[in-house]
Chain A
Amino acid sequence: MMLVMSLTNLFREGAAMKMKMADGSTAVLRRNRPGTKAEMWSKWSDIAYEEMENTLAVQQYIQQAINKDVNDVEGILNQPDGVDEGVWKYEHLRQFCMELNGLSVKLQAECNPETCTQMTATEQWIFLCAAHKTPKECPAIDYTRHTLDGAACLLNSNKYFPSRVSIKESSVAKLGSVCRRVYRIFSHAYFHHRTLFDEYENETNLCKRFTIFVTKYNLMSKENLIVPILDDQELIEGESEA
């Protein structure tokens, strides 16, 4: 058992594609080997959460659920029994940041510092980039990259998140501000690069998942969720306004 755990540690990011070798003969190799065909990418059989025997089971579980059906947002966000809520939130946010890289790569093609000189969503919101020691108005694409870098730094920081098995409450409290900043990438894409946003959203449902996620765990308030992605979003707005 010790060996399995330490090996997975060695290949941290490849955790979900772990080799199973408990009984040798029927080993399912959960890993995308060099030369894997596109249609075979990540197409290995599912495994129940209880049977995932490693320290990164939560990430493995989340990624498995996403691979299974990206449209089943509720299913992906459905927290299995026995998972610590802090870890659950942390791992999801980690996954969001990873997938947001996909969106930012797409954005790079059309959002450049000359056209989008500021990080804006609707006209009245121009945001400061928190990645610098002095306040700075970075162009939207830089803001996106800086924010994702900053989020990755924080989420991988040994000081705040020394373990992925249990997370201190004071560290969980930091997730809210990451969400708030990261969300601005969605809103910029929605209001300024709509086609690109729709294209990506159709593929991944990422914004929808994010919106439901932050609402479910109270990481952001409805007022800041300005992208109308859910059917009932306007309704909620209207209700609390009354």
Chain B
Amino acid sequence: MMDAGPRKGEGLPKLRDLLRRQREDSLSESMTDSPDIEFLYDDADTYQSEMSELYSYTEECEFALNRKCFEEGFKAKGYDKWTETSSEIRKKHIVYLQNELEIASEERRTNAVHAVLYLVQGVFGECSTLEDQMEWEHRNVHMLYEQGIFTSFVELLSFQTENGKAAANALIKPAVSLADSLDLRMILNVLYTMVETMRVPLQSETEEHKRNRELFTEELVQPYIGDSVLLVSLFVMVTKFCSGNAPHFPMKKVLLLLWKITLICLGGLKDLQDTKNKVRESHGLSPLPEDTYEVCKNMRASSPPASAVDLIEQQLPRRAFRGGKRDDLFMMKSSLNDDPFENGNDADDLMKDVDGIKPNGDDEQLPPTPPRPSTPTVPQYRILPWKPKVRQKDLELFLEHTRKKFVGFHVKNDFTSLAGLPRPIHEGVKVLKQHLYISLTEIQIKKEEEMAKNPLSKPEGEIQSTPVEIFYQELLPNLPQYMIALLKILLAAAPTSKTKTDSINILSDVLPEEMPTTVLQSMKLGIDVNRHKEIIVKAISGLTLLLLKHFKLNHVYQFEFMSQHLVFANCIPLVLKFFNQNIMSYIGAKNSIPVLDFPSCVIGDQVELTAEALENGDSQQYCWRNLFSCINLLRILNKLTKWKHSRTMMLVVFKSAPILKRGLKVKQAMMQLYILKLLKMQTKYLGRQWRKSNMKTMSAIYQKVRHRLNDDWAFGNDMDARPWDFQAEECALRACVDRFNNRRYGNNGTDPDFKPVDNCTQSVLGEDLELCEDFKQNYERWLDIEVFSNQIDWDQVIAH
């Protein structure tokens, strides 16, 4: 390996890897469980990873093509280097390229597309470091945006998707390949890079760039061409692809773009919490009792359900052992960052630090030590991580129940009086009331019911056109089709699904025209294909969760509409099927080749790819995108089934418990939390035997999931008490959703008699009225008689 002449930096990680593996081996011998996965959930991975995932490794050769196209054009104009010319010339060239994009000759247009792509890729040929490239990427994106290039590319995208020639070509071919989607991929690359670069500002963002970013976000919500917003055009592409009419559409890029547009326009999930608190405040509700992401961050993973032998071993002096282990781990990590042979020094410093108080003067004499994280303290949970909650409904049920027992009759609509109830019940009610949590959902449903009952006296009020609202309105007409299409692609990308001949082919944008001939090449392609599928799952899961969460906050029935169509399209069994795989190996999958990632593959010296390097993959402990997708999918499942009896029963019927339990092996608190939630809601129906043999899981639920006072999830046996009628429940929900959609978005649904009289002068006068010819000729006379000669007290008129 060393003889083959790799870069120095390349050999080092190898060595570290080796060292680490040895340590890991020795650790796993002395420990019963592996360390927690250090994963922080975020809206997306790092900018670099998100950029590199846009390209498949088979697209590698196209980078050079972009560069060639740009440089030839730039040279032909008499300029030399982009990074060294004045901004005046740069601007001039962009304008020139923009003009070229509208030219009839296809060849010249394609050339211009390549050149612009090279610009948004950060003129990598003129950059020597990754930081340089990233900076130029940002500068160019902003400059191109200012010149209106984004709009030009949205137009180009619509040209290209409507281009019947490419589709017809792809349809008659036996196997669609990378070459069929070249034009579309180039355009989507430009759009994605611009969106993602705008979304993630540099730390040194200037005021001007910030303004651009805001303007850009605002623009994305508006329609570009004709009447459809970009989001809808992309969804249309997805459905077209799924119907088989356009097999050459590069789905991965379309889905990534969809996800990122949603992310930039609606904002991420952490921001959503703040927004939610603001909305709650405006409704006079208390803020959320805790920050989900903070709690998850501090939560430790439970060890997975283990065998009996392990259980005995764990009862050995565990506490002392754990402390040692954590330190050991920490040392290991810091030694990975520094020279492994300087361990002794580090330990010394550590001792000094522990000693603490030192005269100030000493500091200067000591060599500066690299900053290290302080010794991690193991948070001891003496309190529950989540504040228990009680719904209004639970309180009502409790009162009703106790009254029946102690007073003997039912008092309607009285939730305060405690007459005739014994002291302990008083106390119980007090505690329940303390934990009462009223959700926005309940308020929205109540308002909806009132509006349905009193269409005249309770008008809708003005609906603010926020980005979420606009997206919902735009998606509404074809939302069911969009959901089906997303799930179809998710199914095709799931690692467990077999490639059927009749199902859609999602690999047309990875597979090269000619299949690989050497072992190395086919290994590379194998990794590429798996990576491609993983990225598709990531984009779909991210997009779906984001839309569900945003719709939920905006209006619960928007959320219910989307989730019902997901359920109808078999989302629940699909996600379960996804988890019915070796989830540990999915989380640990190493389907990436760091040296081939953009932009590393075009900057600096290039290393020759060896089979060994391919086998080793990256040096990550886990695969970020796969863990991210898993958590998203679990959250989607939670969103769909929460408080929905019939859907929870689906989890039971599809035998989700063993599948979910296997997922607990992943030692990551957030992922475990969402699995435990799903288990909790169905525990009641799994039977005594299951609970008896899964006590460890039961206590993990108790420890990690929010408590609902009065909820007898662990002991209740009301299987017979609640009949399960999937049809009836979904129909009832459907009726509410339809009523909501009709009232708010349908123009023929409401009775015109119930509509308020339009007395706004602007809109009344703006209406198109057919005036007869007589009137048109004599309207001035009419004005004189009817308007000018009449004494009208306009103040009075307007006042009324």
- The chain A residues found within 8 Å of chain B, CB to CB, are 2-3, 6, 9-10, 21, 118-119, 125-128, 130, 133-135, 137, 159-160, 168-170, 173-174, 176-177, 180-181, 220-224, 240
Contact = CB atoms under 8 A, between A and B. Distances in A.
Nearest to A153: B226
8 contacts: A6-B762, A126-B104, A127-B102, A134-B163, A135-B104, A135-B159, A181-B102, A240-B92
B218 A130 contact: no
Contacts of A177: 148, 151-152
Contact of A134 (B102, B148, B164, B222): B164
B100 to A, nearest CB: 9
B162 interface: yes
A168 B222 CA distance: 11
A10 B764 CA distance: 10
A160 B103 contact: no
A128 B762 contact: no
Given A6-B761, A222-B92, 10 more contacts: A2-B761, A2-B794, A2-B798, A3-B787, A21-B788, A126-B104, A137-B104, A159-B223, A173-B148, A220-B95
B92 A174 contact: no
Nearest to B101: A128
Contacts of B223: 159
Interface in B221-272: 222-223, 227
B151 A174 contact: yes
B765 A170 contact: no
A212 B348 CA distance: 74
Contacts of A126: 103-105
Contacts of A170: 215, 218-219, 222
A223 B163 CA distance: 30
A155 to B, nearest CB: 15
Contact of A160 (B152, B222, B762, B794): B222
Nearest to A184: B102
B103 A127 contact: yes
Contacts, number: 77
A223 B96 contact: yes
B43 interface: no
B215 A173 contact: yes
Contacts of A125: 99, 103
Interface in B98-121: 98-99, 102-105
Interface string B750-792: 0000000000011001100000000000000000000110000
A133 B95 contact: no
A94 B223 CA distance: 21
A92 B146 CA distance: 21
Interface string B152-170: 1001001100111000000
B91 A133 contact: no
A197 B103 CA distance: 23
Main secondary structure of the interface of B (DSSP, over half): helix
Contact of B104 (A3, A9, A127, A180): A127
Contact of B91 (A6, A10, A221): A221
B514 interface: no
A173 B158 CA distance: 20
Most buried by A among B152, B158, B761: B761
B99 A134 contact: no
Q: Give 7 nearest A-B pairs by CB, closest first.
A: A221-B95, A126-B104, A170-B219, A6-B761, A133-B162, A137-B104, A134-B162
Contacts of B98: 180
Contacts of B89: 240
Contacts of A10: 765
A137 B104 CA distance: 6
A130 B762 contact: no
Most buried by B among A10, A168, A170, A222: A170
A10 B148 CA distance: 35
B208 interface: no
Contacts of A173: 148, 151, 215, 219
Nearest to A120: B104
B159 A134 contact: yes
B710 to A, nearest CB: 51
A128 B222 contact: no
B762 to A, nearest CB: 7
B605 interface: no
B313 interface: no
B720 interface: no
Contacts of A3: 787, 794
Contacts of A2: 761, 794, 798
Contacts of A134: 159, 162-164
Contacts of B95: 220-221, 223-224
Given A126-B103, A130-B155, A159-B222, A9 B91 contact: no
Interface string B516-537: 0000000000000000000000
Contacts of B102: 127-128, 130, 180-181
Contacts of B151: 173-174, 177
B758 to A, nearest CB: 14
Contact of A128 (B96, B104, B163, B766): B104
Contacts of A224: 95, 99
Contacts of A169: 215, 218
Nearest to B219: A170
Contacts of B227: 159
Nearest to B163: A134
A144 to B, nearest CB: 15
Contacts of A159: 222-223, 227
Contacts of B219: 170, 173
A223 B765 contact: no
A160 B225 CA distance: 11
B362 interface: no
A135 B104 CA distance: 8
B155 A240 contact: no
A178 to B, nearest CB: 11
Interface string B581-621: 00000000000000000000000000000000000000000
Contacts of A128: 102-104
B88 interface: yes
Contacts of A176: 148
A59 B766 CA distance: 19
B474 to A, nearest CB: 12
Nearest to B218: A170
A2 B162 CA distance: 48
A2 B158 CA distance: 44
A170 B794 CA distance: 37
A222 B93 CA distance: 11
B92 A223 contact: yes
A169 B761 CA distance: 27
A23 to B, nearest CB: 13
Interface in B198-225: 215, 218-219, 222-223
A114 B561 CA distance: 55
Contacts of A180: 98-99, 102
Contacts of B766: 9
Nearest to B99: A224
A224 B102 CA distance: 13
Nearest to A119: B104
A154 to B, nearest CB: 10
A119 B227 CA distance: 26
A240 B90 CA distance: 12
B74 to A, nearest CB: 14
A26 to B, nearest CB: 16
Nearest to A34: B777
A223 B90 CA distance: 12
Most buried by B among A118, A130, A223, A240: A223
A168 B215 CA distance: 10
A237 to B, nearest CB: 10
A125 B95 CA distance: 14
A34 to B, nearest CB: 9
Contacts of A220: 95
B455 to A, nearest CB: 28
A9 B762 contact: yes
A97 B132 CA distance: 45
